[in-house]
Amino acid sequence: MARTTDTDLAPHELRILVAVADAGGFSAGAVTLGLTQSAVSRSVRGSERKIGAVLFERGRNGARPTAAGEQAVAHARRVLRLLDVLVAEARGSVRSDAAREPEGPLRIAAFRSSALHLLPAVLQRLRERHPGIEPQVRIVRELGRGTAGEVADGRADLAIATLDGARLPAGLVVHGLFEESYSLVYPAGHPAPRALPLVDWAENCGSYTRAWWGAQDWIPGATIEAEDDGAVLTLVGGGHGMAIMPALSLVGAPDSVEITDLGPKRPTRRVGYVTTPELAGSAVVRALVRELRATSSAV
């Protein structure tokens, strides 16, 4: 029989690490878990001793994970989620074939335009086929590690992501769904849209567009920086400038704007999904992937 060792972390220790990180302190984490602050402190010290690294920087304003702590907390979230899936699928395996349906929570991270224009049809099909699945969607800005970082950190089971290979965290399962083209967007009826100032937002330019962008001498620096693509469309429609925008952001664009193709060398970006190796084979993730592939084939 296998025995635990002095370096093994129990599930309750992992939950405490996650609670302290999420709450920003030992006392706040203790309140979340219904424990005393001293019990949480002892548990964290024990985990640090087992791992051999300091996991939290303690201070007057709480506690924040060290670099080692960020890694430990990310792994803790993923392990705890896998334990939840283990229980749900083991229980499901003893049911009859007719009742063996995937069920339980399914955490999805998505950037704004995919959440607005891709996921609704996907989730409708998912609910119709698998009513026991409970989707939980978080909209995450596609900056830095973006939606894929939510998966790597254990906050999401699957992410809809722009597949910029230089930015994706290592060790994830990555699959493309479709190519998304960029277009020129400008106020309806404007006779010289390329002479207008540029309206842009922080998420718009990645490595997939940067080379094309730098080769266009007609595109000025952004005169207006907006928070998201919806604000960009509103500003362009109001006559404040033109924009270069990806296809998903232009679904349902108002009549106040016109959209022009940028030609055969137009920039594109690849949209796909990201999950972890351990969750890729879970019933809830496989069910979502099937609907993603079916829906994105029509994009």
- pLDDT computed for residue 223 by the predictor: 86
Q: How far apart are CA 70 and CA 64, in angstroms?
A: 9
* Tokens 């009826």, residue located: 189
Q: How far apart are CA 172 and CA 151, in angstroms?
A: 8
Compute the mean pLDDT over every residue in the chain, rounded to the nearest whole number.
91
pLDDT digits (tens, 9 = 90+) for 216-264: 888 888 889 998 999 999 999 999 999 999 999 999 999 999 999 998 8
Residue 96's alpha-carbon distances to 67, 92, 99, 154, 282, in angstroms, are: 46, 9, 5, 32, 18
pTM confidence score: 0.89
Q: Tell me the one-letter amino acid at 49.
A: R
Q: Residue range 175-179: average pLDDT?
A: 95
**Cβ pair 108, 138 in contact under 8 A:** yes
pLDDT digits (tens, 9 = 90+) for 122-163: 999 999 999 999 999 999 999 889 999 999 999 999 999 999
The structural domains of the chain, ordered by start, are 1-97 (1.10.10.10), 98-178+270-298 (3.40.190.10), 180-266 (3.40.190.10)
Share of the chain above pLDDT 70, in %: 93
Report the alpha-carbon angle 142-143-144, nearest 5.
Answer: 130
Return the minimum-mean-pLDDT range out of 26-35, 193-202, 218-227: 218-227
Residues forming a β-bridge with 138: 109
- pLDDT computed for residue 218 by the predictor: 87
- pLDDT computed for residue 1 by the predictor: 47
Q: Which residues contact 88 (CB under 8 A, 6 or more apart)?
A: 103, 104
